[in-house]
Amino acid sequence: MNDDYEQIPGMPGDEAIRAELVRTGGPAYWRPFGTAEEGNGYNGRETDFSTVTEEAKAKILSTRLRVGPGPTGTPYQHALWEHHNRQIALEKEAAEILERMTAVIYDPVTGEGISKAPTDQVQADSHRLSQIRAELERHRGAAGELKLERALAKAVEAEKARYRHEYVLAEAKRRAAQSSLDEEIERRAAGYRRGLTAINR
C-alpha cells in the first residue's frame, strides 16, 4: 500500500473505486482487442450496442467471453473471466465424463445394454466426477466469492496506483513547463537588472 495516496488531489476513495470496478466488470465493458496504451479498460464506458441486432450483440459478448478482457482490462475483469472459464471447463469435463459413463453397447444375443467402458475406467470416472462436483460447489459458493473479493481488493490497489502514476506524470509535465517558464522569466529579469544597473551608474 502506498502511503502517499492521500496526498494525490482528487484520488477516489476505496469504496468509490470498488463500486466502479464492479460496475464495469462484465464483458460489455471489455476491450479485448485494444492496446494497453489506449487505457480503454479503465474508461468506464459500456459498448454501445444500439446500432446492432440482439443476435450481433450476443455474438460480440460471446466472443469477448472466449478471448477475455485483453491488455486494457482491469485486474477484476481478468479475475471474472478466469472465474467464468474455470466453471465452463469443469462443466464441460463433467459432461464428457457423464457421456462416457453412460455410453452402452448392446449384447447381440440378449440385446442387453452394457457399459462400453471397463469397470476400472468407470470407477476412475466416478471418482473424478465427484471431485469436479465438489470443486464446482466451492467455485460457485463462498470460496469462489472469496477469491473474487481478493481479486477485487487487488484491482482497487492497482487502480489507485494507476491514478497516482497518471497524476505524477501530469504534475511532472506541469512542473517542467513551469520551470522552463520560470527560467525564461529569470533570464529576462536578469537582463532588466543589468539595464537598470547601467542606467543608474
DSSP for 4-56 reads GGGGSTTPPPHHHHHHHHHHT-SGGG--TT--GGGTGGGS-PPP--TTS-HHH
Decide which of 132 and 10 is more confident.
Answer: 132
Return the residue matching grid coordinates 482497487: 156
Q: How far apart are CA 141 and CA 144, in angstroms?
A: 6
Q: Which residue has the higher pLDDT, 112 or 90?
A: 90
Residue-wise pLDDT tens digits, 133-183: 999 999 999 999 999 999 999 999 998 998 999 999 999 999 999 999 999
Residue 32: predicted pLDDT: 85
**Taking Cα atoms as reference points, which of 110, 114, 112 lies closest to residue 101?**
114
Q: What is the pLDDT of residues 21-75, one digit of tens each?
A: 999 999 999 988 876 555 544 566 888 899 999 999 999 999 999 999 988 888 8
Q: Flag whether pLDDT at 92 surpasses 70.
A: yes
Q: What's the pTM value of the predicted model, to 2 decimals? A: 0.73
Residue 23 identity (one-letter amino acid) = R
